[in-house]
Every structure is written in C-alpha cells, then in structure tokens.
Amino acid sequence: MPQLAIAKEFLAEYAALEKPVRERVTQVFAKFEQATHTGLHLEKINHARDDRFRTIRVDQFWRGVVLAPRNGDTYTLMKVLPHDDAYAWAGRRRASVNSVTGGIEVRDVDTIDSTLPHLERVAEHVPTRLFEDVKDADLRRLGVDEQTLGFARTLTDVFQLEAARGLLPAVQWEVLYGLAAGLTPEQVWEEMGAAIVEGEVDPEDLDAAVRRSPDRVLLVEGPEELTAALESPFDLWRIYLHPAQRAVVEASYGGPARVSGGPGTGKTVVALHRAQRLAERGEGEVLLTTFTSTLATALEAQLRLLVESRSENPEEVLGRIRVEHVDRLAHRVFREEHGQPDLLDPARERALWQEVVAGLGVDLSPSFLAQEWRQVVLTRRVEDAQAYLEAKRTGRGRGLNAARKAQVWQAVHSFRNLLGERGLWTHETVSEEAARILAGRAEKPFRHVVVDEAQDLHAGQWRLLRAAAAEAGDDLFVAGDTHQRVYGPKVSLAEVGVNIRGRSSKLRINYRTTAQILGWSLGLVLGEPVDDMDGGLDSIAGCRSEIRGEKPVLHGAATWEAELGYLKETVGSWAEAGVLPDEIGVAARSKRAVEQAVLALEEAGLPARSLAKGQAVGSVPVGTMHRMKGLEFRCLAVVGVGGEQLPAPRSVTPEEEDPGAHARDLLRERSLLFVACTRAREQLSVSWHRSPSPFLEAVLDR
Ligand SMILES: Nc1ncnc2c1ncn2[C@@H]1O[C@H](COP(=O)(O)OP(=O)(O)OP(=O)(O)O)[C@@H](O)[C@H]1O
C-alpha cells in the first residue's frame, strides 16, 4: 500500500494556500493510501533532471509535486504549486541520498549549474575562498558530494552561501554553514552525530532514505494524521527535531545530563520532548520544572499539545508528568512537614540584617552580608566558623582577612539564630529545608527530573531537585544557557551534587530569530567571561540561524518623550503592515517605563497591556526585560536602552563596596538586554534617549 510522507517545508507552505486549495489538498491526499499503485495518476515530467519527481492533480489549476521512489512505496509530497510552476520546480531538481545520514536530499541542479560560472568569475578576483582552510577529505567525510564540493570551492563569502540555501541539499548546506560559522569539522561531525547512519548507504534507495529522515519528512499514517499535521503547520517543533536535538531527546544517560545552547536553539523543545519520552517509558513519575510560575504554565500548555499530538495514550503519559516551578515544589514539600512558612520579604530581611549589624556594632553593610550569606554560606552549605574561614569565595571580589571573616561569620550566625528564634524563612532556606526533608526520605517523589532555564536556579533549589529523584540513569536532565542568567547566582553543578561530566551536549542552530538579529544580539555578550556551571567557561560561538531577515533598527532620541514618539511610530508601522497586536512585543528595563510605554501606545490608538497584568488578547504586550524570558514575538521594540537606564543604577552594587558583586551585577544587566533582544523573530527595534547604554558600544555600528 502506498505510504504518504510530507516534506517539512510543505507543511509551512500549506498554511499560505487559499482555503479551497487547502481543502482540495486534504481531500486528494487523504485518499492517497487507499489508491492502488496504478490508481495514483502520478504524471511524469518531460525533460526532467530526475524522473522520480512526478506531479499529481489537485484541481484544474494546482498540482502537487511528489517524489516517487523506483522501488518501495513511500511517496513524498514536496510542494503544491500552480500547474506551470509545479512542472518547472520539479523539472529542475534532483533527489539524492546523503552519504552520511542516509537521509533524503533535494537540490536545484539547473540553478546550481547556471550559477557556477558566475561564481567562478567572481572568485578569480577575490584572493581568498570561504572554505580554503577546510580539506576536501573533511568535506567528503561530512557528506558533501562532488557537485556541492565543486560549488563550495568557488564561494568567497558567507553571503553567497546563504543565497545558495534553497539550491543545495539541505544537510550539506548545513554542514557548510556550520563550517562557515567557525565550527571545526569535528564539531560539525558531532552536531550530525545522531543522524549518522551505520553501514553502507544505497544511493538509489529513496524509499529507505525517506524513512531515515524524520527531521525532514513526516510519514503520515492515515487521513486523520494528515489533517492534524496540516492543521498545525506552525508547530513544527512537535514533529521535526534536528538530529542534534533528537540525539539528546532519545539518549539514555548514566546519570545527570545537560543540554546547553544559545537563545532559540530549542532547549525548551528538547526538555519537553524528553519529559514526554521519559514518561512514555513508564519507569515512574517525571517532574518537569523551571524557574518561575509563568514559565511553568507555558511549559504545561506546550507539553499538553505535544503529548496529545504525539503520544498513543496521552492522558496516561500526562498523568505521569508533574509540571511545577521549583519554588512551588519547595513550598509543597516544606508544608508537608512544617505548615505554611513565615516568609521574609526583602524589606523585612534588610531590617533584620540592620538589627544584626546594630547589635554587634560592626561596620559591615547589610547588603554585603546578605550577599555573603547567599553566595558563600548558603551556596556552599557552610555550617561553622572554621568552614567559613576555609570556604572558597569565588566571585565575591574583595578578599577578607581572618579578623574580618570572623566578624562576618558572627553576623551570619546571629542572623541565622534570629531566623530560627522567630520562625522566619526566605525562599532559599525553604528550598534548603525541603531538600533536607527529601534527602532524608527513602522514597523519592520522582524517577526523572527535567529542568528548563537551569542557569537561574540557586544552590538550594539544585539540592532540592537532586534529592527529588534517586541517583540513577536518566535521573536529572537540565537545559539552560548561562548567557541568559538574569536571576540566580553562579552555581557549580558539581558542588550541588549534580555530576554531568561526559553527559553534556550543545545545540547551535537557532530556530527563532533571523541571522541578522541573532548576530547583532550575540555581539552584546561576545567576549564576556560566562561560566558553564561545570568549572569552565561557556561559549556561544557557532550559534547560528538559517533564517534571513532585516537588520535590527537602532534609534537614539533626544528625550524620553521623543523616544516614546518613535515607539508609537514603530509599533504603528508594524500594525499597518498586518502584524497582529499579540505578535508585537515591547520590552523596557523598569516597571515605570513599561507603564509609560503602555500609556503612550494607547494614546496613539494602539491597544496595549502590561504583561504584569496578565493576558488580554488583541493588544500589544509590554513587559519588563525580566518578563521577556520564555516569550517570543514577530516584532519587538526594546526601549529605554540608555546609559542612565541600563545598567539600572539601583541593581548594581557599587564597585567600591564589592567589586565581585559589581561585575556580576553588570553581567546580569547585560544578559537581560541579551534575553530581551533575542525574543524577536523577524524585526527588532532598539532605542534610547540621550546617550546609549554602554552595553551597546560594541554593536552600535553593526
Ligand atoms: N526542530 C525544530 N523545528 C522547528 N522549530 C523549532 C525546532 N526547535 C525549536 N523550534 C522553535 O524555535 C523556537 C525556540 O525554541 P525554544 O524556545 O525551545 O528555544 P530555547 O533554546 O529554549 O530558547 P531560549 O533559551 O532563548 O529561551 C520556538 O519557537 C520553537 O518552537
């Protein structure tokens, strides 16, 4: 019986077809499997470069282009186009089998042949070639075949490669793009890892090749699955994983494992798929957790979509996964033993530190002590004066002599005593206590723990998660990007009992943002020393996007009013171009700026809402940079990126008070801007008034 497969690109294009055509496509292909081989009416194309491309009639005007193997029964729907375009598209192309992945690939042979002489002429006048440092042998080993190799050798810059995206076989193009982005052949090989097929590949066996290409082609089992796939073309993440993503989703790890990667590389997608996978195994409960309640709510909704569309027994699978943000888990466990905690808010905590300082008569600042308590005493679980004397104070800047340390310890000790005597708690101590409770229980609540936005968790939360599942294979899985840390302090996973050595993977292809916006945004953090939570430094080199678009638009205004005027124009022009209000986002550093931006937009007749006030469909969401986490927008305006607003003066510890905290605060402010800017999918506007923020220095002219 013929089996229908759909090329990933077509799923995205289907939505753009007019409704009657869409309906006809569904009708024609829903019957596909019932049709006998002879009843399929696949038309041959005269003078085609590859006679395995055929057309199928959709209606009088439209034709589907189908790739039909010589042997085998898998037919891949590639395109639906007007009659003449369909014939032209199919006539120019050739299908082949990638020698490394064994997957299906299609190239535009006609255009490659006709472009080559022009590229060769250009190359004669340019002294260097794009891939001159890469050996032919390496390119071949990575599956670049002779035609693509000849083409690649004529390229002189990355823009030519980008322009050739639709011409070259996709996997081979990705290999070249990775090399052009600065990856070594070994790194590219590693990235292909999961897709590499073992044994010989038969270059003629298209049927096997299609079946080996789950990242590019969806095999459709019956009309219902066809309708479901066609109806949600924008949720491609649910269906197609990049081989590098799939490898992480499907792996069995001997212990805790981690996936990292720049913004938009699909870490959350991987975490969701992995949670589903682990639940399907049926070995026990899965905890899917993250940093904030808003993010947890979003995860839960996405998980439901994924499981409902991809699991055979969705309710059972969902029943095995608990989605809960980490503080909520901490409080739940805490309450089981102690009831509701009396929580210190920041103002009460400051007052308590002041009380300690006054009581002891020492000249130590409450904010210094609070940071020392969190980052050294709590993080390292320091229990007595001797341990504090010996504790590493990495990142705390100013060294303390023994006498000073004794004073600090005395203050911390008094503070802890006060907490104990008065029955007071902070979120950190609640986590620590919950961790202690779970560590003491023989029965752990979860078999697997999956953590998203891992970079923002503090040590107590890590200890809690460590204690929430017994040590075993596939116990903990963490996804995060330390360049996006905007809340928590630096944590070394090894120090909190989470050993990921040898079980760490990196994603590098961004699916959200255009190459222009991503490249510009990466400039905000490049060169900043950012830890990798595992004793080393993280790098976002090689993080790249394959989507082309416009450069970010930068604008400096004279005053805040003028900047808001510019915002109104920008948002107005996006709305006029047909972008829906919900697809537009506005980010600012402070709550006040958010409120003023909402007012300004409303004044201009553009419905807007503050994200802090929750959902309101049909208006432009405006939020602080902190709230931008986990969101994405087609068009995004980041406002108030001025020298007086970013870094936010009140959020940065003065250098003279504590140089370590100062540097860390500055990096956090920089990361905030980075997080905000990387939420934009198609258009990014960045504006300021008076002087630009110092963080923009490196990227102002790009
Ligand atoms: N394999 C895929 N195919 C299509 N779209 C994908 C794929 N993987 C991820 N995406 C899309 O890319 C976007 C970013 O994915 P996701 O949020 O998982 O990335 P992230 O690495 O967690 O991002 P960030 O760190 O910036 O929050 C989402 O819109 C997601 O649906």
Using the predicted structure, report yes or no on whether residue 278 has a pLDDT greater than 80.
yes
Length of the chain: 702
**Both tokens of residue 448?**
């697997």
Q: Cβ(233) to ligand 1 under 6 A?
A: no
What distance in Å separates the CA atoms of residue 211 and residue 216, rounded to the nearest whole number? 10
Summarised one tens digit per residue, pLDDT across range 408-429 is 999 999 999 999 999 999 999 9
| pLDDT confidence bin for 395, thresholds 50/70/90 | low
Place 39 in a pLDDT band, splitting at 50, 70 and 90: low
Q: Which residues of 682-700 are buried (b: 16+ CB within 10 A; e: fewer)?
A: bbbbbbbbeebbebbeebe
Please list, in sequence order, all residues whose beta carbon lies within 8 angstroms of the beta carbon of residue 684, skipping any fewer than 6 positions away.
Answer: 517, 520, 521, 552, 553, 635, 636, 637, 638, 677
Whole-number Å distance, alpha carbon 567 to ligand 1 midpoint, is 27
Structure tokens at 178: 């990775």
Q: Which residues pair with 449 in a beta bridge?
A: 287, 476
Which tens digit of pLDDT belongs to each residue from 337-352?
999 999 999 899 999 9
> Which ranges of 400-458 does DSSP label H, i.e. alpha helix?
402-422, 427-439
Residue 181 is predicted with a pLDDT of 85
**Which helix (H) or strand (E) is 7 found in, with range?**
strand 3-7
Q: Which two tokens stand for residue 578?
A: 């047909």
Any idea which architecture 241-334+442-508 has in CATH? 3-Layer(aba) Sandwich (3.40)
Please answer whether residues 62 and 14 qualify as being in contact, where contact means their C-beta atoms are separated by less than 8 angstroms: no
Residue 605 CB partners (closer than 8 Å, separation 6+):
none
Burial class (CB in 10 A: 0-12, 13-18, 19+), 208: buried
If one residue of 216, 250, 269, 290 were mutated to test the ligand 1 pocket, choosing by the most ligand atoms within 8 A of its CB, it would be: 269
CA distance 30 to 249: 31
- Answer whether 584's CB lies under 8 Å from 567's CB: no
| pLDDT for the residue numbered 243 | 85
- pLDDT reported for residue 478: 97
Which residue's alpha carbon is nearest to atom 27 within ligand 1? 630
Indicate the pLDDT class of residue 40, thresholds 50, 70 and 90.
low
Q: How distant, in Å, are the alpha carbons of 12, 24, 76, 192, 204 from that of 219?
A: 16, 20, 8, 21, 20
What pLDDT, in 10s, does the model give residues 582-637? 999 999 999 999 999 999 999 999 999 999 887 667 899 999 999 999 899 999 99
- Ligand 1 centroid distance, CA of 543 (Å): 13
Q: pLDDT at position 669, please?
A: 96
State mean pLDDT over 5-13: 87
> Is 94 within 8 Å of 109 (Cβ atoms)?
yes
Q: Provide the terminal-to-terminal Cα distance of the chain, rounded to the nearest Å.
A: 56
Sequence-ordered strand ranges (E) for 319-415: 321-323, 342-343
Cβ neighbourhood burial of 392 (10 Å; 0-12, 13-18, 19+): exposed
Say which residue the tokens 């950190």 belong to: 428
Q: Find out whether the beta carbon of 671 lies less than 6 Å from any atom of ligand 1.
A: no
Range 67-79 average pLDDT: 90
Say whether pLDDT at 36 is over 60.
no
Ligand 1 pocket residue status of 264, Cβ below 6 Å: yes
DSSP calls for 150-177: HHHHH--SHHHHHHTTTTS-HHHHHHHH
Rounded to the nearest angstrom, the gap between the alpha carbon of residue 326 and the centroid of all alpha carbons in its chain is 20
Lowest mean pLDDT among 297-306, 356-365, 532-541: 532-541
Query: Which architecture does CATH list for 3-97+209-231?
Result: 2-Layer Sandwich (3.30)
Quote the pLDDT of residue 500: 94
> What integer pLDDT is reported at residue 702 of this predicted model?
67
Mean per-residue pLDDT of the chain: 91
Q: What is the mean pLDDT of residues 469-486?
A: 95
Our measurement of the distance from residue 217's CA atom to the centroid of its chain's CA atoms, rounded to an integer in Å, reads 22
| Other C-beta atoms lying within 10 Å of the C-beta of residue 576 | 8
In the annotated binding site for ATP, the residues are 261-268
Establish whether domains 241-334+442-508 and 550-699 are of one fold.
Answer: yes
What's the whole-number mean pLDDT along residues 430-449? 97
- Domain boundaries defined on the chain: 3-97+209-231, 104-196, 241-334+442-508, 345-425, 550-699
d(CA 78, CA 73): 16
Strand 476-480: give its sheet, edge to edge: 321-323, 286-289, 448-451, 476-480, 257-261, 504-507
Which residue's C-alpha comes closest to atom 2 of ligand 1? 237
C-alpha to C-alpha distances, 19 to 11, 14, 234, 430, 616, nearest whole angstrom: 14, 10, 17, 55, 29
Whether 263 is in the pocket of ligand 1, judged by its Cβ within 6 Å, is: yes
- 3-state class percentages of the chain: helix first, strand second, coil last, to nearest 5: 50, 15, 35
Rounded to the nearest whole angstrom, what is the distance from the C-alpha of residue 630 to the centroid of ligand 1? Answer: 10
CB 266 near ligand 1, within 6 Å: yes
Kindly state if the Cβ of 681 falls inside 6 Å of ligand 1. no
Give the per-residue pLDDT at 700.
86
Over residues 494-520, the pLDDT tens digits come to: 989 999 999 999 999 999 999 999 999
Q: pLDDT tens, 546-585?
A: 888 899 999 999 999 999 999 999 999 999 999 999 999 9
Asked if this assembly's ipTM is beyond 0.90, the reply is yes
Query: In whole angstroms, what is the distance from residue 105 CA to residue 97 CA?
Result: 6
Assess whether pLDDT exceeds 70 at residue 384: yes
Tokens at 285, concatenated:
């409960």
Q: Which residues are annotated as a binding site?
A: 261-268
Backbone angles phi and psi of 170, in degrees to 5: -60, -45
Give the residue whose CA is nearest to atom 4 of ligand 1: 237
380 lines ligand 1 (CB under 6 A): no
CB of 237 closer than 6 angstroms to any ligand 1 atom: yes
CB 110 within 8 A of CB 89: no
| SS3 labels along 84-128 | HHHHHHHHHEEEEECCCCCCEEEEEHHHHHHHHHHHHHHHHCCCC
Instruction: Please give the distance, rounded to the nearest whole angstrom, from the Cα atom of residue 263 to the centre of ligand 1.
Output: 8
- Tokens 């989470």 correspond to 498
The tokens of 198 are what?
């073992």
C-alpha to C-alpha distance for 51 and 176, rounded to whole angstroms:
28
Token digits for 253?
A: 């790890």
The letter for the amino acid at 377 is V
Q: How many CB atoms lie within 10 A of CB 44?
A: 11
* CATH class of the domain defined by 550-699: alpha beta
Which residue's alpha carbon is at the smallest distance from atom 11 of ligand 1? Answer: 511
What spacing in Å lies between the alpha carbon of 270 and ligand 1's midpoint? 8
**Distance in angstroms (rounded) separating the CA atoms of residues 485 and 421:** 34
Helix or strand or coil: residue 140? helix
The residue behind tokens 């203050």 is: 411
At 407, the amino acid letter reads Q
Instruction: Give me ligand 1 centre to Cα 428, in Å.
Output: 30
pLDDT > 70: percent of the chain: 98
For 683-696, the pLDDT digits (tens) are: 999 999 999 999 99
